[in-house]
Amino acid sequence: MSKHGWTGDPVELLRVGDGFRLADVDADATPGFHGHKHDGERVLTHRETELDDLQERLYANRDERADAVLLVLQAMDTAGKGGIVRHVVGGVDPQGVELAAFKQPTPDELAHDFLWRVEKRLPAPGFIGVFDRSHYEDVLIGRVHGLADPAEIERRYGAIVDFERRIADSGTRIVKVMLHISRDEQKERLMERLDRPDKHWKYNPGDVDERLRWDEYMAAYQTVFERTVTAAAPWYVVPANHKWYARLAVQELLLDVLQRIDPQWPAADFDVEAEKKRLASS
């Protein structure tokens, strides 16, 4: 295996490009990585040090109008968003992470434009923001359940593209990820939640209702990709039947965006030698 166990570049392999069809993605695949679970977990741990170093450099620049990173996570239930937060994002200093979990909107949020609550949770310079669900729910569940009329859904695609362009232009690097599991895999994962009393709290009867609309959701995702992929805010579809692979892939996506920012330790804005003398005599 080549560098870090990868035989191909997940950034290229997973990016949604022209002619992308979600229906063609094999949720069991592990594009670019030919090892097994054990290899994947070893690489994840190994690469954590680099991710941590890059994040600290980014954070060190937070007062210098540094860039920010925004990781958007979208998926069907049980696909493993929580595991990404825990095992990938959890590998860096929590002080530099701003996590936002978007639930069903409140009446106050519903009274505003759908991007109102999203704007408020954008990461500050130097931070890595993570959206566990996002404004994309407003064109996914929003479309599947008809929560807004078709003209409003149409409007939102364009609004999202404009919104993301603006925040990208103001210095936020956007990485949008759909974790893709198969319908069978979801059934197994939901069944496990029902089989284990310590997992009942994670189960909601509504999960089956949503599952029954699987094809509608896949169609809604397909439209999302067609309408909201931009150079400034690319989409990546990550096969997620193997949790270890999904974590490894998202780690590489974060490493890639941080490497492209290439944050440097900021120069001291004080006289180092003078401070050493002051400190020594204090």
- CA quadruple 16, 17, 18, 23: dihedral, nearest 10: -30
Q: Is residue 260 involved in binding its own copies (CB under 8 A)?
A: no
Give residues 209-228 in contact with its own copies (rule: CB under 8 A). Answer: 211-212
Q: How far is the CB of 164 from its own copies (least distance, A)?
A: 24
**251 CB burial (10 A radius; 0-12, 13-18, 19+):** buried
Q: How far is the CB of 267 from its own copies (least distance, A)?
A: 7
| Cβ-based nearer residue to its own copies, 127 or 235 | 127
Q: How far is the CB of 97 from its own copies (least distance, A)?
A: 7
Give residues 137-196 in contact with its own copies (rule: CB under 8 A). Answer: 187, 190-191, 194
| Cβ-based nearer residue to its own copies, 16 or 175 | 175
Q: Is residue 101 involved in binding its own copies (CB under 8 A)?
A: yes
Of these, 24, 38, 108, 201, which contacts its own copies (CB under 8 A)? 201
Q: Is residue 125 involved in binding its own copies (CB under 8 A)?
A: no
| Cβ-based nearer residue to its own copies, 21 or 199 | 199
Q: Is residue 280 involved in binding its own copies (CB under 8 A)?
A: yes
Of these, 42, 46, 166, 278, which contacts its own copies (CB under 8 A)? 278
| Cβ-based nearer residue to its own copies, 11 or 71 | 71
| Cβ-based nearer residue to its own copies, 39 or 210 | 210
Instruction: Say how many residues touch its own copies, by CB under 8 A.
Output: 41
H/E/C letters for each residue in the chain?
CCHHHECCCHHHHHECCCCCCHHHCCCCCCCCECCCHHHHHHHHHHHHHHHHHHHHHHHHCCCCCCCEEEEEEEECCCCCHHHHHHHCHHHCCHHHEEEEECCCCCHHHHCCCCCHHHHCCCCCCCCEEEEECCHHHHHCHHHHCCCCCHHHHHHHHHHHHHHHHHHHHCCEEEEEEEEECCHHHHHHHHHHHHHCHHHHHHCCCHHHHHHCCHHHHHHHHHHHHHHHCCCCCCEEEEECCCHHHHHHHHHHHHHHHHHHHCCCCCCCCCCHHHHHHHHHCC
Q: Is residue 85 involved in binding its own copies (CB under 8 A)?
A: yes
245 contacts 42 by C-beta, under 8 angstroms: no
Q: How far is the CB of 75 from its own copies (least distance, A)?
A: 15
| Cβ-based nearer residue to its own copies, 11 or 85 | 85
Of 179, 223, 7, nearest to 77 by C-alpha is 179
Q: How far is the CB of 120 from its own copies (least distance, A)?
A: 13
- Residues binding its own copies (CB under 8 A): 60-61, 82, 85-86, 89-90, 93-95, 97, 99, 101, 132, 187, 190-191, 194, 197-198, 200-205, 208, 211-212, 265-268, 270, 272, 275-276, 278-280, 282
